[in-house]
């Protein structure tokens, strides 16, 4: 131990294969091997890319009347995917509509996860009456039919994207809360949490630094799946006409064209495919993350 | 080993001055007085600690020995105020550290004592480190909890501490994760974390129980070595009588939530007074018994349940020298050698003659 050593000697690992792999790097390594998850990642990248640069490359107003109503797809080069009952360009709606849908989906999932982790962490960490109280509130939200509750929220306030986002977040945080609570209850009893407490860490630090990073893997997985659910939820609300009427979204396109579904199949099919692909890609990613974070499945 | 464990910031120096001031008075650094802990269970109240008292001078090492379940770890947790409440509760007593009763401090002040002035290492090194952070981050965190230190300086301190606890290639290994360390190495990291702020007292709760036999001696050596260099006092909780003989200055023997005998290590090991202490020492595989190839002695029976405690001495049912009054009355404490040696047993209550 007293032997003088150069820095080079200290840095040269005797076992290069045992390089320090952080848990996130390790997870990425496993994720990368999952073909389906990679496909999901590619699809989602495509969707997000379309959302970002699509409107610049295809600058057609989604509400503008671009041709005769009910133009069939692939017949008119000007409106490639056809037009709806008002003559609005379906492709323009597809390109722009993803923005609202995915943005609402993402923000709603963010709200969901934030509320869920906050409630679950407090309940699981402190236990006792805090747990009792918070879990009763959670159950209250769980027994409400979520779509109806969200509809009530949206109709009570103006149907703007913000309200829709909050409404979705408000009805779907319960499962995350229960998951976070279970993780916090399990982890708070572990030795390294006691050890950190013995080193002088306070409750907030224990929750944020010792427990939360270890509780994150299942929460990330569930958050990914919640994005999918939230996208579907937004589409559902728009379909019912309970979204901002001034913002084009895939759900709204389906809702608007549902009356003409027999004579104008393309009006609902293309936005439907868009929603399907987006949700599928998110689910595939969630599945891949689940495998990556779950050490028991590493051997597969 | 080149790292200077003493090298430190001004905050630490102030604490050091306070420690020395109390030592100059000749008073103990840590004085546990009449500590009682109860646990509320479904079957009733378990009195886990009953009137535990001991004193620890600066730089002194106290061995806390006894069977599993007799309250050694509880004593350690009570000193740190880490007993889970509920169901546990410290019902009475004082833990005077450096002139302050720790049990009366508010939570924020107590947090600043933990890990900074009184530190603790646990028996399970395999699970006592957070798996998602590098050991360097965790040691740095332990330092930054108590000292205003730049991230970089804290990282340097982590490297220093890893060198001090004898981890080779510390500069490289500081960025590795706990799973890349063996059990003994992880315990070294735990010791580094516990000593990173130069605490006055280190409580080591069976630090080697979970480790390989060949590593145990190394860890004991490391603790003694760091104790000598930092001047910290140590409370060593252990089953290992060999370690007690080698490392400690004083020994307290616990049984069923009480200290039944206390004295200097020579006195207790050479001339144990309490029948339980005699049994414990006879149990330890020594050179004499091994040479004769005789089976080890044992103490018949087990520690009685803390729930169904009747009056009298808790050891009565297992004691060779049991008398009728043992089962009726809790024996009085006999203090000899100016109070530095004490024993709680009826055998000695009548003047010390056996």
Alpha helix (H) ranges present in B53-182?
Answer: 72-80, 107-113, 135-144, 151-164, 170-173
d(C-alpha B300, C-alpha B242), whole Å: 22
Query: Which token pair is B26?
Result: 């000749």
d(C-alpha A235, C-alpha A247), whole Å: 13
Q: Is residue A273 predicted with pLDDT exceeding 60?
A: yes
Do B133 and A21 make contact, defined as CB atoms within 8 angstroms? no
Contact B316, B344 (CB under 8 A): no
Do B132 and A200 make contact, defined as CB atoms within 8 angstroms? no
- Alpha-carbon radius of gyration of chain A: 24
pLDDT for the residue A148: 87
104-123 of B, contacting A, C-beta below 8 A: 107-108, 111-116, 119-120, 122
CA distances from A28 to A38, A298, B158 (A): 11, 12, 28
Contact A61, A92 (CB under 8 A): yes
Least CB–CB distance from B166: residue in A1, A192, A199: A1
Instruction: Determine the residue among B116, B128, B197, B225 to mutate to test chain A binding: the one whose Cβ has the most chain A Cβ atoms within 10 Å.
Output: B128
Quick one: which of A257, A280, A282, A281 has its CA closest to A269?
Answer: A257
Residue A166: how many other CB atoms lie within 10 Å: 18
Q: How far is A3 from chain B (nearest CA, A)?
A: 9
Nearest C-alpha in B relative to A205: B145
Q: Is residue B51 predicted with pLDDT exceeding 90?
A: no
Do A195 and B141 make contact, defined as CB atoms within 8 angstroms? no
Q: Is the CB of B11 inside 8 Å of chain A's CB atoms?
A: no
Q: Residue A178 — pLDDT band, cuts 50, 70, 90?
A: very high
A98-102, A260-264, B110-114, B286-290: least confidently modelled range: B286-290
Map residue A78 onto helix, strand or coil.
coil
Q: Give contacts of B132 with chain A, Cβ < 8 Å.
A: 22-23, 213-214
d(C-alpha A280, C-alpha A39), whole Å: 10
Instruction: Determine the residue among B40, B84, B110, B172 to mutate to test chain A binding: the one whose Cβ has the most chain A Cβ atoms within 10 Å.
Output: B172
pLDDT for the residue B351: 54
Q: Is the CB of A190 inside 8 Å of chain B's CB atoms?
A: yes
Do B133 and A213 make contact, defined as CB atoms within 8 angstroms? yes
Q: Give contacts of A195 with chain B, Cβ < 8 Å.
A: 122, 128-129, 190, 193
Backbone angles phi, psi at A227, to 5 degrees: -55, -45
pLDDT in tens, B108-151: 888 888 988 999 988 888 888 988 889 999 999 888 888 888 88
- Residue B245, C-beta contacts closer than 8 angstroms, at least 6 positions apart: B265, B269
pLDDT in tens, A29-74: 878 888 888 898 999 888 888 888 887 787 777 777 777 777 777 7
45-104 of B, contacting A, C-beta below 8 A: 80, 82, 86
Contact A172, A233 (CB under 8 A): yes
Do A192 and B130 make contact, defined as CB atoms within 8 angstroms? yes
Q: Is the CB of B175 inside 8 Å of chain A's CB atoms?
A: yes
pLDDT for the residue B337: 67
Q: How far is B206 from chain A (nearest CA, A)?
A: 14
Q: Give contacts of A191 with chain B, Cβ < 8 Å.
A: 122, 124, 127-128
d(C-alpha B93, C-alpha A170), whole Å: 49
Contact B337, B265 (CB under 8 A): no
Q: Residue B4 — pLDDT band, cuts 50, 70, 90?
A: very low
Q: Residue A119 — pLDDT band, cuts 50, 70, 90?
A: very high
Least CB–CB distance from B172: residue in A13, A194, A200: A13
Do B128 and A195 make contact, defined as CB atoms within 8 angstroms? yes
pLDDT for the residue A124: 92
pLDDT for the residue B319: 81
Quick one: which of A190, A184, A205, A189 has its CA closest to B112?
Answer: A205
pLDDT for the residue B234: 92
DSSP state of B242: H
Do A191 and B124 make contact, defined as CB atoms within 8 angstroms? yes
Residue B159: how many other CB atoms lie within 10 Å: 21
List, edge to edge, every strand of the sheet that includes B30-41. B44-56, B30-41, B88-97, B100-101
Question: Which H helix or E strand runs over B15?
Answer: helix B10-24
Q: Is the CB of B1 inside 8 Å of chain A's CB atoms?
A: yes
Whole-model pTM: value is: 0.78
The alpha carbon of residue B202 and the mean position of all alpha carbons in its chain are separated, in whole angstroms, by: 8
pLDDT for the residue A2: 43
Q: What length is written for chain B? A: 354
Could you check whether the bond before residue B87 is cis, i.e. omega within 30 degrees of 0? Answer: yes
Q: Residue B353 — pLDDT band, cuts 50, 70, 90?
A: very low
pLDDT in tens, A141-166: 988 888 888 888 888 888 888 888 88
d(C-alpha B12, C-alpha A189), whole Å: 31
pLDDT for the residue B9: 42
Could you check whether the bond before residue B86 is cis, i.e. omega within 30 degrees of 0? Answer: yes
d(C-alpha A17, C-alpha A215), whole Å: 28
Q: Is residue A5 predicted with pLDDT exceeding 50?
A: no
List, edge to edge, every strand of the sheet that includes B333-336. B118-121, B201-205, B233-237, B61-65, B250-255, B258-264, B341-344, B333-336
d(C-alpha B101, C-alpha B161), whole Å: 30
Q: Is the CB of A19 inside 8 Å of chain B's CB atoms?
A: no
Q: Is residue A213 predicted with pLDDT exceeding 60?
A: yes
Contact B262, B250 (CB under 8 A): yes
Query: Which token pair is B159?
Result: 């490297």
Q: Residue A139 — pLDDT band, cuts 50, 70, 90?
A: very high
Q: Is residue B45 predicted with pLDDT exceeding 80?
A: yes
Instruction: Determine the residue among A198, A210, A215, A216 to mutate to test chain B binding: the one whose Cβ has the most chain B Cβ atoms within 10 Å.
Output: A198
pLDDT for the residue A181: 94
Q: If DSSP states are collapsed to H, E and C, what string results for B246-297? A: HHCCEEEEEECCEEEEEEEHHHHHHCCCCHHHHHHHHHCCCHHHHHHCCCCC
Least CB–CB distance from B169: residue in A2, A10, A209: A10
d(C-alpha B329, C-alpha A172), whole Å: 63
Terminal CA-CA length for chain A: 42
Q: Which of A171-185, B1-15, B57-71, B334-348 has the highest mean pLDDT?
A: A171-185
Query: Which token pair is B163?
Result: 């060198």
d(C-alpha A40, C-alpha A18), whole Å: 30
CA angle A8, B194, B92 (to 5 degrees): 175
Q: How far is B20 from chain A (nearest CA, A)?
A: 22
pLDDT for the residue B28: 84
């Amino acid at each position: 131990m007293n032997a003088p050593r150069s820095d080079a000697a200290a840095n040269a690992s005797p076992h290069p294969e045992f390089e320090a792999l952080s848990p996130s790097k390790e997870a990425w390594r496993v994720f990368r091997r999952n073909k389906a998850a990679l496909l999901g990642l590619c699809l989602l990248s495509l969707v997000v890319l379309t959302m970002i640069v699509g409107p610049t490359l295809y600058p057609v107003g989604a509400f503008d009347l671009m041709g005769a109503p009910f133009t069939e797809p692939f017949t008119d080069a000007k409106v490639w995917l056809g037009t709806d009952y008002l003559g609005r360009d379906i492709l323009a709606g597809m390109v722009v509509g993803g923005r609202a849908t995915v943005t609402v989906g993402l923000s709603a999932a963010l709200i969901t996860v934030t509320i869920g982790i906050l409630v679950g962490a407090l309940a699981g960490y402190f236990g006792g009456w805090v747990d009792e109280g918070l879990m009763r509130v959670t159950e209250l939200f769980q027994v409400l039919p979520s779509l109806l509750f969200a509809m009530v929220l949206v109709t009570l306030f103006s149907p703007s994207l913000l309200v829709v986002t909050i409404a979705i977040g408000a009805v779907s945080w319960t499962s995350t809360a229960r998951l976070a609570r279970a993780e916090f209850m399990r982890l708070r009893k572990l030795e390294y949490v006691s050890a950190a407490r013995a080193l002088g860490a306070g409750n907030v630090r224990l929750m944020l630094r010792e427990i939360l990073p270890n509780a994150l893997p299942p929460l990330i997985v569930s958050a990914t799946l919640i994005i999918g659910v939230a996208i579907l939820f937004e589409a559902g609300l728009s379909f019912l006409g309970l979204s901002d009427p001034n913002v084009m979204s895939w759900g709204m396109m389906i809702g608007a064209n549902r009356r003409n579904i027999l004579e104008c199949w393309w009006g609902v099919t293309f936005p439907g495919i868009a929603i399907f692909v987006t949700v599928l890609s998110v689910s595939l990613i969630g599945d891949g993350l689940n495998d990556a974070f779950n050490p028991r499945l590493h051997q597969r | 080993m080149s790292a200077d464990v003493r090298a430190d910031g001004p905050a630490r120096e102030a604490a050091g001055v306070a420690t020395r001031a109390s030592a100059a008075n000749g008073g103990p650094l840590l004085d546990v007085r009449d500590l009682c802990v109860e646990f509320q269970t479904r079957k009733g109240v378990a009195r886990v600690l009953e009137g535990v008292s001991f004193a620890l001078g600066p730089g002194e090492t106290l061995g806390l020995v006894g069977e599993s379940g007799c309250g050694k770890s509880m004593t350690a947790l009570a000193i740190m105020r880490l007993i889970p409440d509920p169901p546990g509760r410290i019902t009475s007593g004082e833990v005077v550290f450096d002139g302050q009763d720790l049990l009366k401090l508010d939570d924020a002040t107590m947090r600043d004592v933990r890990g900074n002035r009184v530190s603790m290492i646990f028996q399970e090194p395999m699970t006592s480190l957070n798996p998602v952070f590098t050991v360097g981050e965790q040691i740095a965190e332990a330092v930054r909890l108590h000292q205003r230190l730049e991230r970089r300086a804290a990282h340097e301190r982590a490297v220093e501490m890893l060198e001090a606890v004898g981890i080779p290639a510390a500069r490289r290994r500081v960025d590795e994760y706990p799973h890349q360390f063996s059990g003994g190495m992880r315990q070294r990291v735990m010791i580094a974390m516990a000593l990173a702020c130069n605490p006055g007292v280190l409580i080591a709760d069976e630090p080697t129980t979970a480790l390989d036999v060949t590593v145990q001696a190394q860890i004991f050596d490391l603790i003694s070595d760091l104790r000598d260099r930092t001047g910290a006092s140590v409370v060593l909780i252990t089953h290992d009588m060999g370690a007690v003989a080698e490392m400690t200055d004083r020994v307290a023997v616990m049984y069923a939530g009480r200290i039944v005998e206390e004295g200097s290590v020579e006195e207790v090991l050479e001339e144990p007074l309490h029948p339980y202490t005699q049994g414990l020492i006879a149990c330890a595989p020594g050179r004499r018994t091994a040479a004769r190839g005789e089976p080890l002695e044992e103490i018949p029976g087990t520690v009685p349940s803390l729930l169904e405690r009747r009056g009298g001495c808790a050891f009565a049912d297992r004691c060779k020298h049991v008398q009728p009054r043992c089962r009726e009355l809790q024996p009085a404490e006999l203090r000899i050698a100016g109070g530095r040696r004490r024993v709680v047993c009826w055998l000695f209550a009548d003047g010390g003659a056996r």
